[in-house]
Amino acid sequence: MSQILSSNDPQPFPLESQTIEYKEVFSTKIKKEIGALLNGRTSAYIYLGVNDQTRKITKQLTTEQRHTYEETISNWINDSYYPSAVGLVQIHSENTPFSIEIQPGINPPYYTDRRVYVRNNSSSEPASADTIRHLSLRNQLDAYDKEPATNQDLHFDYLKSKSQANHEQFDPKKFSNFLTTKNQYANTALLMSEENPFALKVAAFDGTTTRKFLDRKIFTGSIMEQIDQTMAYLSLNNHIQSTINGSQREDHYDYPTDALREGVTNAVAHRSYFDRGAVQVELYSDRIEILSPGPLPNGLTVPDILSGRSQPRNYNVLSILLHFNYMENFGTGIRRIEDSYAESKVKPLVKAGEGFVKLVLPNNNYVASSAKADHNEVPKLIPVGDDRQQIINYLENNPLARRSQVEKLLAIKSSQANRYLHTLVQDDIIRKVGSGRNTRYELVHKGSDH
């Protein structure tokens, strides 16, 4: 169909099909129809106020109805689809009939409130597991790192230093898809540059919940530098417990070094860069959680990856990381993590959802509080965030705090107090109440886990 149907076109309109849907009345079922059409192959249209049997306009919408429907659909576009459907759905609220135009997405499968729908002739229905896999195969998961970078003013100081340490000369042309066919920097280059827009966030907590905040770091720059900075931070907090076995002393790290490196590297390398979120690493007394944005690729499941199946995402990025020995081989990371815990009583855990993959690494030396009377205390995380913890402690005993009170409490300047308060707000530990001179701060979850 070359153009949108209107009241000037002959009625009855064309039959419903893979690309045409009629709805006489507005309902939330339209959300599902949009999701199914996002998983299609050509432009498609939904028309409101049209009877699907007579294929004629039977309902005239008021201006208020048009505005309400447009607002509702806009909210769906922003919140209900993954990957994002922003820019793929256009609302023609002034047209008669009211029309919704859907362009097929380039990153299927598209999820609608955690379900995948597809078009089957003139109806929309839940997709089977096989259909989801086929949709995933349509999605060129390595397309991101091949595309031209929007920023062409890139610098590669860290990559050059790695090349030098590898006793080789830095040469962009030797890396797969570092440059496009038009000799522009591709996104592979962007991710390896100092201008890389994706960050890695680390948060440390004292205890097994987010209640007692210790520290927060944001690592930027080349993804290789982010991996190295994160590993340095984790190594600092990877304590050793010693036991005496006869005449031999045995040292036991909280976490196997291989598991930490594989976990962080995999989270950065295999994440979806179509998702703008950051890789997140959270340290607790009993575990480390590493969250990577984006679903498992190509319809893979957790049992699939645990069994060794692999569908590499960001192949060109992986190739560079492999070249610089950040990775051993494709598809071996999870098994190496499991092997590193082979002699441990506790085991790593992998969780996956539509928008994330999370690895949970248990602390081998953690002793629950109920059993600590008979054991040596496990060392706490290094308290590099004591000032911010004092703010939290103050708010545990007081309903609100002003910035000026934080300045006096910590004997710091207003700029430093603002920074502390800002990071605590960003971490959803405290929230701002009021504005201007009346600005106060309070705990988000006082008296319970944050």
The domain spans of the chain are 20-138, 200-374, 386-443
Closest by CA to 142, choosing from 270, 244, 14, 321, is 270
**Three-state SS at 205:** strand
Mean pLDDT, range 200-227, rounded to an integer:
93
| DSSP summary character for residue 235 | H
How many other CB atoms are there within 10 angstroms of residue 412's CB atom?
15
Q: Is the pLDDT confidence value at 368 over 60?
A: no
d(CA 380, CA 19): 59
Q: Is the pLDDT confidence value at 230 over 50?
A: yes
pLDDT score of 302: 82
Cα three-residue angle 207-333-166, rounded to 5 degrees = 105
Mean pLDDT, range 344-354, rounded to an integer:
86
pTM equals: 0.56
Quick one: 150 exposed, middle or buried, by C-beta within 10 A (0-12, 13-18, 19+)?
A: exposed
**Three-state SS at 223:** helix
CATH class as words, domain 200-374:
alpha beta
First to last CA, the chain: 53
pLDDT score of 355: 78
d(CA 207, CA 101): 50
> What value does the mean pLDDT of the chain take?
85
355 Rama sector, left if φ>0, alpha if ψ -120 to 50, beta otherwise: alpha
d(CA 51, CA 23): 6
Q: Which CATH architecture has domain 20-138?
A: 2-Layer Sandwich (3.30)
- Kindly report, residue by residue over 314-335, the tens digit of the pLDDT: 888 988 998 999 987 656 778 8
Q: Is the pLDDT confidence value at 450 over 50?
A: no
Tell me what percent of the residues of the chain surpass a pLDDT of 90. Answer: 49
- Kindly report, residue by residue over 154-191, the tens digit of the pLDDT: 999 999 999 999 899 999 988 888 998 889 999 999 99
Q: How confident is the model at residue 381 (pLDDT cuts 50, 70, 90)?
A: very low
CATH 1.20.120.1200 correct for 386-443: no
Q: Is the pLDDT confidence value at 268 over 50?
A: yes
- Kindly report, residue by residue over 28-52, the tens digit of the pLDDT: 999 999 999 999 878 899 999 999 9
Mean pLDDT, range 394-417, rounded to an integer:
83
